[in-house]
Amino acid sequence: MTEGSVLKSLLALSVPIIFANILQTGYQLTDTFWVGRLGTVAIAAVSISFPFIFLLISLGGGLAMAGTILAAQYKGREDKKAVDHITSQTLMMVFIISIVLATAGYLLSPFFVNLMGVEPSVFSSAVVYLKISFIGTIFMFTFMAFQSLMRGVGDVKTPMYIVFGTVLLNLILDPLFIFGYGSIPAFGVGGAAVATIGTQGLAAIIGIILLLKGKHQIQLDLNDLKPDVPLLKKMFRLGFPASIEQSTRALGMIIMTFLVTTFGTLTLAAYGIGSRILSFIIIPALGLSMATSTLVGQNIGAGKIKRAEKIAELSSLTGFIILTLAGIVTFLFAKPIAAFFIPGDLETIQTSALFIKIMALTFGFIGIQMALSGAFRGSGNTMISMVLSIIS
């Protein structure tokens, strides 16, 4: 990753990351697809929950980013002992924080849903879905830490294979738990959340087992879980701004959802579909951003500053081109995309299609911003990427 063609290195890392992130988003898209068969109220319940789940994902991803940055830089220096130590400390930090967030989120779920001002018909289903989703925070954060650490050392395929298998399993389990089958009772909206945390738990367990075996460039040593306070402080200094950066988009979604809720259940459902599409479309830019962080980190660790700068420039251009093309396609097919998620409800489809078209016009600029943020993160300047995200 510190030699040869920059473009080849960028693609070699980003393509598997993009594919893994597409699959990761498949959890939410699968939930939306099957829950949509229950009607507009059910879609609204999931939609009201999604910004809070997205906030969780953003917090976890940001904290785990410290592992990516440090693992990449020490990988560039070929210091495996330091990489292994960072692995233990990252997992310990993320695990403790996930327990705190899971507990708080579960207890505060009714408050969060009530805060959004949803209609009574939506409230109970939204609370059930959100509570179950918060229980899965521990699994979600653990696997994100595993992904980030593997990405830091340049192994992006192993997490991709794990996500691929668990998303396929989720696709099968979703309708079983939502609608019931044989001796399996129908859990309705809550069934989608049960299926998701079950498969996320499996992914986390597989990730930990692989780290313990140490066959993928990283060795997790359970005896190395004693807190290294100076390192944890450094990781927090890197991870906290990254968490704020990634959380600003989620917080923006929460504010928007709060405002949209005042227009009624139909508009909320339409907005929820559009938000899912946005989270799916920006995946290529997110993949490029993550690959850029790894490559910039490894090259800075190896002392190749000029190559790191070239990586940032090429990533920005690539992100702009890919997302502009994605924006054009999304704009042209906005109505069929909306209809896929909630067939038969013409008014919701039309409202969602309009929202999707407006969003599509901004995709190219999102590509540039995310690529540059990835470069700053890889260099360890997470504060700059945080400021860029807050401004945008």
Render pLDDT for 209-218 as a digit per residue (tens, 0 to 9).
999 888 778 8
pLDDT digits (tens, 9 = 90+) for 341-372: 777 778 888 888 898 999 899 899 988 888 88
Q: What is the pLDDT of residue 162?
A: 92
Cα–Cα distance measured from residue 370 to residue 14, given in angstroms and rounded to the nearest whole number:
13
In a domain, 150, yes or no: yes
CB 316 within 8 A of CB 231: no
CB 40 within 8 A of CB 345: yes
Q: Which of 118-122, 163-167, 179-183 has the highest mean pLDDT?
A: 163-167
In a domain, 265, yes or no: yes
Distance separating the N- and C-terminal Cα atoms of the chain = 30
CB 53 within 8 A of CB 294: no
Cα–Cα distance measured from residue 80 to residue 75, given in angstroms and rounded to the nearest whole number:
7
Maximum distance among all alpha carbons in the chain?
Answer: 62
Record the tokens describing residue 126, joined without a space: 């939204």
Cα–Cα distance measured from residue 244 to residue 251, given in angstroms and rounded to the nearest whole number:
10
Q: Has residue 386 got a pLDDT over 80? A: no
Cα–Cα distance measured from residue 178 to residue 32, given in angstroms and rounded to the nearest whole number:
11
CB 48 within 8 A of CB 232: no
Q: What is the pLDDT of residue 108?
A: 92
Output the CA angle 390-20-321, nearest 5 degrees.
Answer: 60
- The DSSP 8-state label assigned to residue 327 in this structure reads H
Q: What is the pLDDT of residue 392?
A: 65
Record the tokens describing residue 340, joined without a space: 């896929």
Average pLDDT of the chain is: 84
| SS3 call for 153 | coil
Residue 181 bridge partners (DSSP): 184
- Residue showing tokens 């498949």: 26
**H or E stretch covering 78:** none
Q: What is the pLDDT of residue 237?
A: 82
**H or E stretch covering 54:** helix 40-76
Cα–Cα distance measured from residue 288 to residue 367, given in angstroms and rounded to the nearest whole number:
9
In a domain, 137, yes or no: yes
Higher pLDDT, 343 or 235: 235
pLDDT, average across residues 370-385: 82
HSE-CB at 185 with a 13 A cutoff on CA atoms is: 3
**Chain Cα centroid distance, residue 350:** 28
Which spans in 116-184 are helix H? Answer: 120-135, 137-152, 157-179
Q: Has residue 248 got a pLDDT over 80? A: no
CB 114 within 8 A of CB 123: yes
In a domain, 1, yes or no: no
Which of the residue ranges 157-161, 180-184, 250-254 would you say has the lowest mean pLDDT?
Answer: 250-254
Q: Which residues constitute the domain of residue 318?
A: 6-391
Q: What is the pLDDT of residue 2?
A: 58
Q: What is the pLDDT of residue 104?
A: 92
Q: What is the pLDDT of residue 352?
A: 87
Per the document, the length of the chain is: 392
Q: What is the pLDDT of residue 251?
A: 76
Which of the residue ranges 69-73, 93-97, 146-150 would you say has the lowest mean pLDDT?
Answer: 69-73
Q: What percent of the chain has pLDDT over 70?
A: 98
pLDDT digits (tens, 9 = 90+) for 303-335: 888 888 888 889 999 989 999 999 999 999 988
State the total domains in the chain: 1
CB 42 within 8 A of CB 185: no
Cα–Cα distance measured from residue 75 to residue 296, given in angstroms and rounded to the nearest whole number:
12
Q: Which residues have a Cβ under 8 Å from the Cβ of 207 and sit 6 or more positions away?
A: 142, 143, 146, 147, 159, 162
pLDDT, average across residues 193-199: 90
